[in-house]
Amino acid sequence: MFATSSQKKCWMFKDDTDVSNARISGNLKYISTRGKHMSVEEREAHFLSTNEEKTLTLSYEFQLRDFCRKFQPTMPRYVVGTGLHYLKRFYVNNSVMNYPPKEILVTCVYLACKVEEFNVSMDQFVANLKGDREKAAAIIINNELLLMQQLDYQLTVHNPFRPLEGLMIDMKTRFKTFHDPERLRPGIDEFLEQVFHTDAILIYAPSQIALAAIIHAASTLKENVDEYITRILFADADQSKLLNIIEAVKKIRVMVRNVQIPNRETVKSLEKKLQCCCNPDNNSESASFKGRMKDTFEQENAHLVKALFSENFMQSSISFVTHEKSVPCENVPLQ
């Protein structure tokens, strides 16, 4: 359930200012480390600003969606949603200058496929990529552990699709005066596609986003669902709760309305600037990056083995003291 999820606990922000502050922190952290010997003017000229990073990240979000749209076999939309969540989570705390977004992008999609149990092999996955597929597979493998680390291994994502279906069923069941709620589908799908390119998914609950999609779709058909919301869905809610929900829905709709595909020439210019200020140590093909990931992998394995050893030892000890017949200590299985 979303209410008790790691998503709600660790990956939800108070408002768009809170999200912006996290991005500013990641940007300044990188610049202060890589540009500590530069003047303020040199830093401003050399590094990407927070707004420039946001423009680039948005561009890569659209690239991720285009990749998933063309993917074979057809990729379910909840996998796409999870991949976009991962990309947003990664770059809300990290600078695009520190980690190459093109590499992180495909790794987000690959990890989303695994987590959402959309079963495709690595060969199938990279067959959807242009260029050297063996190299692409190596890039994904090299970045997968890094991505999971930066997500704090909190990989479960609650997308708005499930609460949406719940609301649609509820409308059909309890809002009989509304003719054929399925008419809303095109508007809903369009809205949900755009909402993933906003910070709404980092601020609002999936159910609020789903409700905003329904209200948007109804308004495009010049239909009114106010009665469903006030007299049926939230009939027992107090006035303050209802007002908070209405305000949240309004803000989500404004965010979606303001989504614009970044200008192509602007993106090209920013990518050129990125090439000059990116961190070469985090290039997945560099020796230093591979060495760090190897050390991290070995440390993770060591912790896992230690944890398993401890658990098995405790289970064996319990078994040893509860058996009617004594068991020699050397015969107690530890693995």
Query: In this structure, is residue 172 part of a structural domain?
Result: yes
Q: State pLDDT tens for residues 254-279.
A: 999 999 999 999 999 999 999 999 99
Q: Is residue 263 part of a domain?
A: no
pLDDT above 80 for 285: no
pLDDT at 333 over 50: no
Are 69 and 132 in the same domain?
yes
Is the Cβ–Cβ distance between 158 and 7 less than 8 Å? yes
Asked whether residue 262 is assigned to any structural domain, the reply reads no
Q: How many domains does the chain have?
A: 3
Q: Residue 51 maps to which CATH number? A: 1.10.472.10
Same domain for 98 and 204: no
Query: Which of left, alpha, beta for 153 (phi over 0: left; psi -120 to 50: alpha)?
Result: left
- The beta-strand segments (E) located in the chain are none
Domain membership of residue 47 (yes or no) is yes
* DSSP reduced 3-state for 327: coil
Question: 173 with 293, same domain?
Answer: no
pLDDT, mean of residues 48-75: 98
Question: For the chain, first and last CA: distance in Å?
Answer: 34
Report pLDDT for 246.
96
In a domain, 267, yes or no: no
Q: Is the pLDDT of residue 318 over 70?
A: no
- Does 318 lie in the same domain as 193? no
Identify whether residues 80 and 198 lie together within a single domain: no
What pLDDT does residue 326 have? 38
Task: Judge whether residue 313 has pLDDT over 80.
Answer: no
pTM of the model: 0.86
CB atoms inside a 10 Å sphere around CB 252: 24
Instruction: Kindly state whether residues 147 and 177 are assigned to the same domain.
Output: no
Give the mean pLDDT of the chain. 91
Residues 84, 31: one domain?
Answer: yes
Give residue-wise pLDDT tens across range 12-48: 999 999 999 999 999 999 999 999 999 999 999 999 9
**Overall average pLDDT of the 174-202 stretch:** 98
Task: Name which residue leads in pLDDT, 220 or 282.
Answer: 220
- 79, containing H or E segment: helix 77-93
Domain housing 166: 161-257
Q: Are 59 and 115 in contact (CB under 8 A)?
A: no
Query: Helix or strand or coil: residue 177?
Result: coil
Q: Are residues 73 and 134 in the same domain?
A: yes
Q: 56-80 burial, b if ≥16 CB within 10 A, otherwise e?
A: bbbbbbebbbebbeebeeebebbbb
Give the model's pLDDT for residue 325: 39
pLDDT tens digits, 123-171: 999 999 999 999 999 999 999 999 999 999 999 999 999 999 999 999 9
What are 266's two structure tokens?
A: 């602007």
Residues 14, 121, single domain; the answer is yes
Q: Considering the chain, what percentage of its residues have pLDDT values greater than 90?
A: 83
Which of the four pLDDT bands, split at 50, 70 and 90, describes residue 238? very high
Residue 335 per-residue DSSP state = -
pLDDT at 332: 34
- Same-domain pairing of 148 and 192: no
Q: Give the percent of the chain with pLDDT over 70.
A: 87
144 within some domain? yes
Q: Has residue 65 been placed in a domain?
A: yes
pLDDT at 317 exceeding the cut of 60: no
Task: Answer whether residue 265 is part of any domain.
Answer: no
Q: Are residues 173 and 153 in the same domain?
A: no
The amino acid present at 272, given as its one-letter code, is: K
Same domain, 235 and 292: no
